[in-house]
Structure 1
Amino acid sequence: MLMIRDLRRADRPRERLIRQGATSLSNQELIAILLRTGTKEQSVFHLSNELLKQFGMIQQLRHVTIEELMNVKGIGEAKAVQILAAIELGRRVLSKQEEERYTIRSPKDAASYMMTELSGLEQEHFVALFLNVKNEILHKQTIFIGGLNSSIVHPRELFKEAVKRAAASIIVMHNHPSGIPDPSPEDIEVTKRLVDAGRIIGIEVIDHIIIGNFNFVSLKEKGYM
């Protein structure tokens, strides 16, 4: 059983992080630093590897609960709390401060704004970004959660909020739990319906972006708008 003390000092995760930076470490090594110690039966490396195996992808830890963590053999309450605290810190670092106005200059800007929040979700989330005349985000709102179809995505709900926020334009976004952001016929139909409604009201829907597993497709770039 490989223990941290068995490694040369220069090869230990903490020392490598100090010397080479956190990006040089694997997911297993970063988790090992958080856990600090293993158990009598498992080294901290084995324990961190078991944790990763349990959840498949590192991104799945974003929504993990303390109960799910403690179901991993060797993870007690104290270690579970350490992991959850680290996850929440990461979430807060990545979140946009409300007082900051994030400007959308391209589909990539819009996708980047929501990528971390929407990637890896198990249900579809349909989100609207309401923009001012400078393409700065005034407000973000989840319009609904569930499968996308034209009967659920009603223009009334979207544009009621746009008028309330005095928005000049809207970008709509949703995720594909499959991780593949290719637009479906339903996605294209919903987009055209919202664009047509926006033209009548005078509030432009400037893009519909589909988020996959940390990738995206812009329906405007694809020529569907």
Structure 2
Amino acid sequence: MSRIPALAAAFAPHAELAGELLPHAFAAEDGSHDASHLIRVWKNALRIQAEEGGDIRQLAAAVLLHDCVSVEKNSPLRAEASRLAAEKASAVLGDLGWSPADISSVAHAILTHSFSANLAPETLEAGILQDADRLDAIGMVGAARCFYIAGRMGSGLYDPLDPLAEERPPDDKAFAIDHFETKLFRLSGGFQTGAGRRLALEREARLRSVLAMMLDEI
């Protein structure tokens, strides 16, 4: 039996929309960008939207489709992933009869959510999606995802001679915890909403605790 109806229920109050979009939401088997990631991003988006406002239907579509095209982290095309996802999402929503204005808003949110794309959100919905997605990259879950991706890419956990890259250039393609400093600890300073910034500071503190505990055990 398909799991889609059960998964769709997690996207209330837009479970019906989720049922329509989930078949288009995944492009590859990737445990860091799977249904659990979408559900966590949706919960983050709901928390932010409750304080900041924004069109919740557009947010639901943007969350569900923001990773609908998969480009590996080590691919030279990585910066194009959000553009490709925005194009696919536009086609999917067009087939469902969404208005051009709503499609454009969702596509913009997807286009600008990615760190790799380096594009600034220009709407509240886009800012919320970016914040909600980045919250899942920091904190305890962010640490777990970082190590999971490092394993998929064939990276080591850390440099045994210089874990904190104090006497070498950091290399997050070779060592997982180098990614904490090269990217993850830099995310909290770029959040778009007040609610997102507050949550980001809480999660960054957790991420720093994970690193401190790991260094203590090393």
Q: TM-score, normalised by structure 1?
A: 0.28
Q: TM-score, normalised by structure 2?
A: 0.29
Q: Specify which structure has the higher proportion of strand.
A: 1
The one of the two structures with greater contact order (alpha-carbon pairs below 8 A, sep at least 6) is 2
